[in-house]
């Protein structure tokens, strides 16, 4: 085991060497408290096995999982350099549409491969996208959010919500259930951030941000950045529709739509009315199952019977937007 290379809300990652095969690996170590949870341990093994079967150039490979004297770990492909998409956003965003879509397509190919294999990521965010020095894009942490949720009773009604809140789909807040379209929503939010340099919804606490995902539409990128064609606005709007039925059915469908968008953009098309119409959600985006939900409704769903975080629901405590829900 070598140096610590990353730490998230629910795991620590170390550089290490596979002595049998003499290759560098990354070891993700889970907290001891989770290892003591039998349900988590069983699901961790199942999710690790499923992730290990997922082989794709844009996916961080899972080599092994195990339990070392009560410490659960995952052995994964080591991505040299370990620059994350978050680093790129901080340094360069807003990205030109062409560059943003080129990066995004690599991410989308990874999620599409997972969806075709029946795997939902459940925690799509820039921190889980790695880029090596040669520019190759790799998506990490498939299935771990689901395994962790089993140990933390991660349903909306239980008061704990998994997945980073800035990228959380509305149905995860209101129903605590996810499917491929929940990943699509997170992907749409991620693309919005690449194009604008900003998250679409912000607030003083995770609960405020979750409320906005339920109550407010993601703005058009062109409202914040010049040079975004209408069909790219429509592509983002469809992916981030609050009604999941209006989104692409999965990342594979979204990938086909993206290639149409990239083709138009690469050929200098400023306004393709047919493409824009095809991508625009067919029902007014301003209506969604979450409409009519009060802030207190979302607060009640995201807190336990004791009201944790304990305070007046109308004045949530100052906190970083992602603090409560970051599971990486």
User: Per this entry, what is the length of the chain?
Assistant: 328
Question: Of the residues 36, 69, 92, 123, which is catalytic?
Answer: 123
User: Which of 163, 84, 168 shows the shortest CA–CA distance to 131?
Assistant: 84
User: Which of 15, 222, 213, 188 shows the shortest CA–CA distance to 108?
Assistant: 188
Residue 273 has, within 13 A of its CA and on its CB side, a CA count of 0
Rg (CA), the chain: 20
Tell me the C-alpha distance between 141 and 127, whole Å: 10
Give, rounded to a whole angstrom, the gap between the first and last alpha carbons of the chain: 20
User: Is 182 in contact with 171 (CB distance < 8 Å)?
Assistant: yes
b/e map 288-311, b = 16+ CB within 10 Å: bebeebebebbbbbbbeeeeebee
- Largest Cα–Cα separation, the chain: 61
Tell me the C-alpha distance between 37 and 180, whole Å: 27
User: Which of 214, 84, 98, 88 shows the shortest CA–CA distance to 156?
Assistant: 214
123 belongs to the catalytic site: yes
Three-state SS for 13? strand
Tell me the C-alpha distance between 115 and 124, whole Å: 13
Helices and strands counted in the chain (H then E): 12, 8
Active site (catalytic) residues: 123
């Amino acid at each position: 085991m070598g140096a610590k290379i990353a730490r998230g809300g629910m795991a620590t990652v170390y550089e290490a060497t596979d002595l049998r095969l003499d290759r560098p690996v990354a070891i993700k170590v889970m907290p001891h408290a989770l290892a003591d949870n039998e349900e988590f341990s069983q699901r961790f093994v199942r999710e690790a096995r499923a992730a290990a079967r997922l082989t794709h150039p844009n996916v961080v490979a899972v080599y092994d999982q195990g339990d070392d004297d009560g410490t659960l770990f995952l052995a994964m492909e080591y991505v040299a350099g370990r620059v994350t998409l978050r680093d790129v956003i901080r340094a360069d965003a807003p990205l030109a549409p062409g560059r943003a879509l080129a990066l995004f397509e690599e991410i989308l190919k990874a999620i599409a491969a997972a969806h075709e294999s029946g795997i939902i990521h459940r925690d799509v965010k820039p921190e889980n996208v790695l880029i090596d020095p040669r520019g190759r894009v790799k998506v990490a942490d498939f299935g771990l959010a689901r395994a962790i949720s089993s140990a933390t009773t991660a349903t909306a009604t239980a008061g704990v919500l998994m997945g980073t809140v800035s990228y959380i789909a509305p149905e995860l807040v209101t129903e605590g259930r996810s499917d491929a379209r929940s990943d699509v929503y997170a992907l749409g939010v991620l693309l919005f951030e690449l194009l604008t340099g900003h998250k679409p919804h912000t607030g003083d606490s995770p609960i405020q941000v979750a409320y906005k995902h339920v109550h407010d539409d993601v703005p058009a990128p062109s409202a914040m950045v010049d040079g975004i064609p209408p069909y790219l606005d429509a592509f983002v709007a469809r992916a981030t529709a609050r009604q999941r039925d209006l989104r692409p059915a999965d990342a594979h469908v979204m990938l086909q739509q993206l290639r149409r968008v990239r083709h138009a953009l690469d050929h200098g098309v400023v306004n393709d009315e047919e493409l824009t119409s095809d991508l625009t959600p067919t029902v007014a985006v301003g209506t969604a199952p979450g409409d009519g939900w009060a802030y207190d409704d979302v607060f009640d769903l995201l807190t336990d019977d004791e009201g944790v975080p304990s305070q007046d629901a109308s004045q949530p405590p100052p906190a970083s937007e992602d603090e409560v829900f970051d599971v990486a």
